[in-house]
């Protein structure tokens, strides 16, 4: 469907199977596969972060259900994560841009490339950390020096999505898990 792009992914020995699959999807020659699958990985990473805050149970699962939950969409999850202070504004902006790009590509039957006039502006809007390894384990996002920023929309998408996913995974590991809710005054009712 989309034009092929050869990109060799050299797996890191520390990559989880999920991370390896994400990187392979990002390197896919098919733009639709690359965008849709990599966005799904980001969506799941954000769901895992939010799920850590929720009490365990069917209500929490229903809220995060990607088909009909009130937090089913990447946009809704991004909004909540930002409003709760779990992610910085620049990461939030990237999540919104990635979700918008995914919706644009997934709902049309065109043969896109990353250089397409409707696709390139989304990629060029994505922010890449200027110094992603400065503040490990959590990446702080900032606008990059335009002279050093990747100019190819494809490469920009690759780096932005890779850093977004890594950052969400790191933030998830640091997210405090929910505790069992105390019944408080509701322990005994008449």
Say which CATH topology domain 17-177 has. Answer: 1.20.120
| Cβ neighbours of residue 181 closer than 8 Å, sequence gap 6 or more | 55
Domain ranges of the chain: 17-177
Helices marked H in the chain — which ranges?
Answer: 17-26, 31-53, 58-64, 74-83, 89-106, 120-125, 153-174
CA distance 12 to 155: 19
Mean pLDDT score of the chain: 79
Confidence at residue 99, expressed as pLDDT on a 0 to 100 scale: 97
* pLDDT at residue 66 tops 90: no
Contact in structure between 43 and 165 (CB atoms under 8 Å)? no
Contact 50/71 with Cβ under 8 angstroms?
Answer: yes
Out of 107-116, 144-153, 158-167, which region has the weakest mean confidence (pLDDT)?
144-153
- Between the alpha carbon of residue 185 and those of residues 54, 57, 181, the distances in Å are 21, 21, 12
Q: Is 182 exposed, middle or buried (0-12, 13-18, 19+ CB in 10 A)?
A: exposed
Q: Is the model's pLDDT at 7 over the cut of 50? A: no
Classify residue 75 as exposed, middle or buried by CB count within 10 Å of its CB (0-12, 13-18, 19+). middle
How many CB atoms are closer than 10 A to CB 145? 8
**The residue to which tokens 């690359």 are assigned:** 34
CB 73 within 8 A of CB 83: no
Is pLDDT above 60 for 72?
Answer: yes
Q: What confidence tier does 171 reach under pLDDT thresholds 50, 70, 90?
A: confident
């Amino acid at each position: 469907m989309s034009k092929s792009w050869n990109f060799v992914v050299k797996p890191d020995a520390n990559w989880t199977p999920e991370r390896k699959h994400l990187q392979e999807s990002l390197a896919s020659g098919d733009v639709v596969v690359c965008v849709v699958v990599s966005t799904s990985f980001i969506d799941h990473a954000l769901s895992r972060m939010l799920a850590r805050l929720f009490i365990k149970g069917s209500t929490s699962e229903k809220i995060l259900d990607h088909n009909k939950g009130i937090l089913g969409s990447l946009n809704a999850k991004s909004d909540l994560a930002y409003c709760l202070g779990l992610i910085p504004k620049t990461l939030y902006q990237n999540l919104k841009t990635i979700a918008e790009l995914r919706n644009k590509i997934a709902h049309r039957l065109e043969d896109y490339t990353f250089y397409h006039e409707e696709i390139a502006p989304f990629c060029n809007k994505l922010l890449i950390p200027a110094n992603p390894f400065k503040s490990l384990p959590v990446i702080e996002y900032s606008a990059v020096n335009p002279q050093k920023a990747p100019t190819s929309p494809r490469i920009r998408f690759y780096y932005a999505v890779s850093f977004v996913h890594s950052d969400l995974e790191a933030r998830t590991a640091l997210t405090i898990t929910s505790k069992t809710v105390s019944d408080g005054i509701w322990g005994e009712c008449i």
